């Protein structure tokens, strides 16, 4: 079957990219496993929260395929539960960063002039701030001083806090890429034609520029997913990430540090999953980068 159109050609190029295939397959497998957690829990006859103080740090056995953690909870199920949160944070953080970045990049590139200069100097400035120390400061800010008190500190606020943090830290790169694409697109004939026809500016930006600037946006957002997962784990390690009892790969890893000498699997397993996920995302991002490059064929 011959695929037609730029999207079809890009998909065909992506399918030929071996590493991207490996990455996509890995990610699908991880998502499937995470989604199948209730099923696996039913098979094992336990769940991710079930504490068994008599079987703390137990080695792998038929009842606990990866053994148990320091509270006797099933490590495999904990990992899958943590994966749900980690993957969600990665995706939400990257989408948030992509959204802010796209908006600022489009506005700056379309309007040019002083607004562009101001937005881009601001972006450059943020890029110059050391990321991790900045996140530490941001994470140390008391949400109670910024948010209404009634919101409390439920799991949603906890996850939302991290998503907002990483999104705020991640958008500048995307904004620069989208702005560059917008600048070159607005001088092309089809955009000039739309302008000459009297199409209003915001409509041109959304209907004509955004779809054509999608390639760098998609690639940057994909790569951000991996970076967000790494950042979340680094913040967890420093004690500033999502706090237990809500499991993430990051806080499981740092939680396992105390018993790393007796139960190394508690540290090795979540680290492996973070590594594999980020690697898979990077493979996919690289494949997308080549597939969406119009010079590819």
Partner 1 sequence: MTSPWRRALPGVGRLVQSLAVMVVLSFLLFLLIDLMPGDPLDLMLATNPDASPADIARLKAQVGLDRPLLVRWSEWLVGLMGGELGISRLFAAPVGEVLMAPLGRTLVLMALALGLALAVAVPLAVAAAMAPRRPIDYLANLVAFAGISLPPFWLGLLLILLFAVTLGWLPAGGPAPPGSGIGATLAHLILPAITLAALQVGQYTRHLRAALIEVLRADHIRTARAKGLGRLAVVRRHALRLASLPVVTLLGLDLGLLVSGAVVTEAVFAYPGMGKLTYDAVMGNDYPLALATLMLGTALVLLGNVLADIALGLLDPRIGLEDGR
Residues that bind partner 1 (CB under 8 A): 19, 121, 124-125, 128-134, 136-138, 140-142, 145-146, 226, 230, 233-234, 237-238, 253, 257, 260-261, 264, 267-268, 271, 274-275, 278-279, 282-283, 286
The minimum distance between CB 217 and partner 1, in angstroms, equals 20
> Phi and psi at residue 200, in whole multiples of 5°?
-65, 150
DSSP state of 58: P
Q: Is residue 9 within 8 Å of residue 3, measured between CB atoms?
A: yes
> Phi and psi at residue 283, in whole multiples of 5°?
-55, -50
Q: Is residue 79 within 8 Å of residue 252, measured between CB atoms?
A: yes
- Residue 62, burial from CB neighbour count under 10 angstroms (0-12, 13-18, 19+): exposed
Question: Which residue lies nearer to partner 1 by CB, 168 or 246?
Answer: 168
Q: CA end-to-end span of the chain, whole Å?
A: 17
Question: Which residue lies nearer to partner 1 by CB, 41 or 94?
Answer: 94
Q: How far apart are CA 170 and CA 73, in angstroms?
A: 34
Two structure tokens written together for 175: 């904004």
Q: Could you tell me which of 102, 227, 99 has the C-alpha nearest to residue 175?
A: 102
CA angle 256, 42, 27 (to 5 degrees): 60
According to DSSP, the residues that pair with 68 across neighbouring strands are: 74
């Amino acid at each position: 079957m011959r695929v037609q159109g730029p999207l079809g050609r890009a998909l065909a190029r992506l399918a030929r990219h071996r590493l991207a295939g490996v990455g996509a397959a890995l990610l699908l497998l991880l998502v499937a496993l995470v989604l199948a957690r209730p099923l696996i829990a039913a098979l094992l006859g336990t769940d991710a929260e079930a504490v068994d103080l008599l079987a703390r740090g137990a080695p792998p056995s038929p009842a606990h395929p990866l053994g148990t953690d320091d509270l006797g909870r099933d490590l495999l199920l904990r990992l899958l539960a943590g994966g749900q949160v980690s993957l969600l944070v990665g995706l939400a953080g990257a989408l948030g960063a992509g959204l802010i970045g796209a908006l600022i990049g489009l506005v700056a590139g379309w309007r040019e002039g002083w607004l562009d200069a101001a937005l881009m100097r601001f972006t450059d400035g943020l890029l110059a701030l050391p990321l991790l120390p900045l996140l530490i400061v941001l994470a140390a800010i008391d949400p109670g001083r910024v948010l209404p008190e009634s919101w409390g500190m439920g799991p949603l606020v906890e996850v939302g806090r991290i998503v907002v943090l990483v999104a705020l830290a991640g958008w500048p790169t995307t904004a620069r890429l989208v702005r560059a694409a917008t600048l070159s697109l607005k001088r092309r004939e089809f955009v000039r034609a739309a302008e000459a026809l009297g199409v209003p500016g915001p409509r041109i930006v959304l209907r004509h520029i955004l779809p054509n600037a999608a390639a760098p946006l998609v690639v940057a957002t994909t790569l951000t997913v991996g970076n967000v997962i790494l950042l979340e784990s680094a913040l967890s390690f420093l004690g500033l990430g999502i706090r237990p009892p809500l499991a993430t790969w990051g806080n499981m890893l740092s939680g396992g540090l105390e018993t790393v000498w007796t139960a190394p699997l508690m540290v090795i397993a979540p680290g492996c999953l973070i590594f594999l996920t980020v690697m898979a995302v990077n493979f996919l991002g690289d494949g997308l980068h080549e597939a969406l490059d119009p010079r590819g064929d």
